[in-house]
Structure formats: C-alpha cells, structure tokens
Amino acid sequence: MVPYFTLLFAIMFGTLFDGKKIDKIFFFILSLWMLIFSAFRVGGTGTGDYDAYLRLYSATDTFEKVIDPEIHAEIGFRLLSFLGHSLGLGEQYIIVAMATLALIPVTYIIYKYSPYKILSLLIWMPYFLAMNMQTSRTSVAAAFGLLFMILYYKKRWIIALLALVIAASFHSSALILVLVFLARVSLKKLFYATIIAFAMLVFVSPFQILLKIFEILHLTRLSDFLLSYLASDDYGYPMAIYDPRIILAMGVVFLIFKCQQHIPKYFDMYYCKLYIIGALLMVIFSHVVIMAWRVSYLFLLISVVTIPWLAKVYNLLIEKNMGSKRVMSSVFIFLYFLYTASLILKAQPYTFFW
C-alpha cells in the first residue's frame, strides 16, 4: 500500500501550493508520476482486467482480428492493439497506451480550466484508482468523453464529435454522453429531479421504473442488456442509499444549489449541471453498482473542474463573512483523502513493471 499512499500524500502536499506560481511545476510532476504509476503497473487496484487486456492484445495481432466479431473488445482497443503489433511492441504496450490516452485529456482540461490544479488531481484520485488503475478502456472513454463535453459546449462540433467517437470506440457506455443535452434544463429542475430520484430509493428503485419505461417503448434489447448486469453475481448488487459515493455526490449537488446565484460570477453553470446529471445517473442506476459507477463516472469526471471552482466560490464567500481562508478547499481535501484512503486499503498490492 506504500506506493499508493506515497502518491496520495504527495498530491495532498501539492495542494498547499495551489494558486501560487509554483503550482504548475507541481502539477506537471504529479501528472507525470500518475502517468508512470498507471502505465507501468502489473495488475491493478482490482483483479482480472490487467490479464484480460494482455490476452486481448495478444489475440488482436492481425487486421483480420481487428474486424473479427469474436474478439470481445471495442474497435478502438482493437486498432490500438493492431498498431502495437505492427510496431513490434510487447504486451505492456497496451497498458501504457491506454494509460496515456486516459490521462492526457484529463490533465489538459484541468490545466486549462481548474483554479486549483492540484486539488483537481486529488478529486480525480478515487476515479484514477478505480478506473485508470483497473478498467483502462472505461477510463479512456471517460477522458475523451470529458473532452467531448467541453468541446460540445464551446460549439466546436467536428472535434467534439471526433472525441465522442473515440470515447465510444473504447467503451460503448460512452454513448450515454448524448444526455449532455440535459444541460439545457435549468439547474433548479435538475436539482429537484435528483432529489426526487434519491428520495424514491427509500420506496422503489428508479432502475426498475427505467426498465418498465424501456418495456413500454419496446426497447427490449436495451432492457435485456441492463437485466444481464442485474443477474450477474459479481455486479448485480445494489448500492445502499447511505453509500459514501452517493452521499458525497448528493452533498456536492446541494452545495451547488445553495450558491447558484454566486457561481455565474466565477465560472459557467454548465459544468455544475453536468455534475448534477452524473449524480442523477448514479442514483437512477444504483440498483446495479457497476452500471451506477460506470455511467455516472462519464459525467462525474467533470468534478475535476466543478469541485475546485465550487471550493473557490465558497472560499471567497467564507473569507468575506468570517475572515478564514480556503475553508472549503480544506473540507474537500479532507473528504477526498478519506475517500481515496478507503479505496487504497481495499486495493491489490502495487507492482511496478520493472
């Protein structure tokens, strides 16, 4: 566990320099550390996916295998594997390549849009450990999905579409990013929709209601796909209503709602709406933990921008009223330290490639 905690404490130390001239140096050093950490791992925080990726890479050694439907991986992974074989690279290449693709878009967005870059890395750490260090294809999809959501808002349509295609080419779940159009709905309506969905968990599963809607609309293939996860012994269990991931997401949603009149003075409400959509998806799919975690992550990754800005807004408001500096930043640092530490304690031991 020492390598994990060393990285975590290094990031926490770096948050002391957020907003100072030296923060960019710390950001680049820590980002490079995270890249090496994820690219040259053997195994990961969980079991299974690392060896599965190596087997799939070995199996996709010709172009015929790239278009072979019996290779159970999306086309992006197959093409990346074929490129590696064409260059004569060994099995670890596929882990390095996906780690790089999963990190560069996220660090670029953090560098360009976050007011507290090191805090953004800390906010990212739980996702980094759960996704980048285990389900690499999903992490690549989420990284390009994050890029898509930003480019879509900037109306750079062609590049946005390309980012979405790349995201979906690594994991088909990225297609749920088309729900980005929900950001056109007012923040208040999104907030109340999330609260209602959360309250429903006490009485009935929103997931079951969703299945019923698919049945009414004759979307049987989609319904069967979701039911296959529900029937799985590994993934078919629900998240508890008091699951820390749900509580944390709902807490951030509440903080957004409480200071919505101040947010437009500092950054765009669009990013907050994306976060709320992610929280809503987590609640709706909470009946199947793997679905809740995966589809919500595609939107909640925006937290690397949203939460640092939210912390800054609250920091300024608290400093103005009470004179205390960076109170909310400290709160988020503490919460995400606990969150990340809990994942580290459950993780598999870290092994470096060399």
Q: Hey, CA dihedral for 299, 302, 307, 313, is it positive or negative? A: negative
* pLDDT tens-digit readout, 2-24: 889 999 999 999 999 998 889 89
* pLDDT tens-digit readout, 69-106: 777 788 999 999 999 989 989 889 999 999 999 999 99
> For position 279, what pLDDT does the model report?
95
Instruction: Say yes or no to pLDDT of 112 above 90.
Output: yes
Instruction: Say yes or no to pLDDT of 236 above 60.
Output: no
Q: Where are the domains positioned within the chain?
A: 2-346
> For position 149, what pLDDT does the model report?
96
More confident residue, 155 or 223: 155
Q: How confident is the model at residue 288 (pLDDT cuts 50, 70, 90)?
A: confident
* pLDDT tens-digit readout, 141-183: 999 999 999 999 999 999 999 999 999 999 988 999 999 999 9
> For position 191, what pLDDT does the model report?
94
More confident residue, 265 or 58: 58
- pTM here is 0.91
> For position 251, what pLDDT does the model report?
95
Torsion from C-alpha of 33, 38, 44, 48, nearest 10 degrees: 180
More confident residue, 48 or 301: 301
Average pLDDT on 256-283 reads 91
Instruction: Say yes or no to pLDDT of 68 above 60.
Output: yes
More confident residue, 315 or 68: 315
Q: How confident is the model at residue 326 (pLDDT cuts 50, 70, 90)?
A: confident
Highest mean pLDDT among 138-147, 225-234, 281-290: 138-147
More confident residue, 44 or 328: 328
